Amino acid sequence: MLKLNLDNANLDLSAYADQLPQYRDQLLNRSQGWLDLPETAPTSQILTYAESVKGQFEHLVVLGIGGSALGVNALFKALKHYYWNNLSSDQRQGYPQLHVLDNIDPAVINDIQDVIDPAKTLFIVITKSGSTPETISQYLYFRKLAPKENFVFITDPKKGLLRQIATEQGIPTFDIPENVGGRFSVLTPVGLLPAALLGIDITNLLKGAGEIRDNFLSQEFATNPAYQLAALQYELNTKHNININVLMPYSSPLFTIADWYRQLLAESIGKDGVGITPINALGVTDQHSQIQLYNEGPKDKLIMLIKTLKNSETDNQHVINAEGLPDFAYLNGVTFKKLLDTELTATTQALTKYKTANIQIQIPEISPHTIGQLFMLFELATGLLGELFQIDAFNQPGVELGKVLTKEKLGG
């Protein structure tokens, strides 16, 4: 089970314990559908569709942006081979390569056509509104290159252009619940369908999310990591002027979860003159590019380290051989896993010595179950943080203006 270690934050959060029921109930009263996804996600429908198209496509291309892409990338990198697209079809057991087109850069649109055959590609078009201009423009382009049988839509249950096209052309379509916003949609078909098409165990993904959600529903502060995290972030921001949060997993496959979390925190909390700036970092890589700033720069950052107790089945198979090199004798016989964990421990101690606020999130391993727990932890903490700040964590007026102006400038 996921664990949260707040010892190095050096804060007394006991005052928040009595307030837990208040903020929990305020969040529940917002009727957010992502809280119910462990039970309500259309798992059977998704698995049936995934099985029906298995082996038919060499490539899977996701057309989406923001919340319609970041969660897919996070699942893909965390739960599939790190170099998945470089494996042969046999090594991938017939599952497709994945490409996420999360931008409209012409260079990317051009280059993707060098690596896919549209006739052998399944395109997943994801837009909650059904009218996101970037995603719709991608769809309108690629529909000229592939038959309609090569498309599946994920969109609003009732309205929008994609829903209209799906009805007229009989294109398979999965629903994003009306009460689930894009950045909270990773456990809807937005993330679940691509995951299932890649052979990821979405049942255990949802089970892990459900366990953290159930902990949140409890009355105990000590067993409520989501509320603990929200209380910590709020206390540091409002009482200690710490307005930057760095999510730093010590596992390369988890780096895209930090990328996903940037949108979740930024769009949810950055409004009404308040906010916390999220930064994604990677251990040990960013020990050599960021830790100098975190330790000796302004004390305006919370460093959230993610430790994986078991990174992979091969943790103990890769042993460093430094025989005959006295200067590196300390590395001889050490596994890369031990070296990674030692550097995490050293970084934690250094941060603490420099009085840089830091916490550690521990997961036993990287699996669908634990990734589901991480997603729900961060979604709950962010929702609760909105309640603590007394803002609506589920709107994004600062984003909408740019969309309106883009449409106006193009004559829409």
Distance CA 116, CA 100 (A): 12
Can you tell me whether residue 244 is helix, strand or coil?
Answer: strand
The listed CATH number (3.40.50.10490, 3.40.190.10, 3.20.20.70, 3.40.50.920) that belongs to domain 3-30+204-397: 3.40.50.10490
Which amino acid is located at 335 in the chain? T
CATH C-level class of 33-200:
alpha beta
Nearest to 179 by CA among 401, 20, 29: 29
In the chain, where are the structural domains located? 3-30+204-397, 33-200
CA-CA distance, 394 to 32, in Å (whole number)?
Answer: 9
**Cβ-based neighbour number of residue 143 at 10 Å:** 18
Q: Confirm whether 3-30+204-397 and 33-200 share one CATH topology.
A: yes
Omega before 53 cis (within 30°)?
A: no
Contact call for residues 331 and 342 (beta carbons, < 8 A)? no
Contacting residues for 242 by C-beta, under 8 A, at least 6 apart: 236, 299, 300, 301, 302, 357
The two tokens of residue 328 are 């590196």
How do the pLDDT tens digits run along the chain, 412 residues long?
799 999 888 899 999 999 999 999 999 999 999 999 999 999 999 999 999 999 999 999 999 999 999 999 999 999 999 999 999 999 999 999 999 999 999 999 999 999 999 999 999 999 998 889 999 999 999 999 999 999 999 999 999 999 999 999 999 999 999 999 999 999 999 999 999 999 999 999 999 999 999 999 987 898 899 999 999 999 999 999 999 999 999 999 999 999 999 999 999 999 999 999 999 999 999 999 999 999 999 999 999 999 999 887 888 889 999 999 999 999 999 999 999 999 999 999 999 999 999 999 999 999 999 999 999 999 999 999 999 999 999 998 876 666 676 767 667 6
Q: Active-site positions?
A: 267, 288, 403
CA distances (Å), origin 218, targets 211, 274, 375: 11, 29, 18
